[in-house]
Amino acid sequence: MQDYIEIRDLLVRTIIGVNDWERRDRQDVLITLRLYTDTRAAGQSDRIEDALNYRSVTKRVIALAEESRFYLVEKLAEEIARLCVVEFGVPRVQVWVEKPGALRFARTVGVCIERTRDDYRDGN
């Protein structure tokens, strides 16, 4: 399957980082999702019931990120991937999490992960 829905540069504010000030002050984080899903049924029927509701996915990702207090962007990315695969049944997802301005002289720094159903079969 090569179809995917991409949600690009979702801006959220969250507590993330290992430094004392990062544990107090919310920071901007950019999240990009590539949700692999078969879009044929929706493309043929033109019915929302046959589509992955990416608005619902976005709302849950925002809530997860804003409520979290992770130390690492890797952990935030992992939990977002788990949400997409387990809760929304996406067979494969790529998640980018970036912290703009985290490194001097760099526009942003981040991590990209890819997960599938197989990664969460044992409840991990």
Distance CA 10, CA 28 (A): 10
CA dihedral 95, 100, 106, 112 (to 10 degrees): -10
Catalytic entry in 34, 77, 90, 99? 99
Q: What is the DSSP letter of 74?
A: H
Catalytic residue flag (residue 75) = no
Contacts of 46 (CB under 8 A, 6+ apart): none
Distance CA 6, CA 91 (A): 14
Catalytic residues: 99
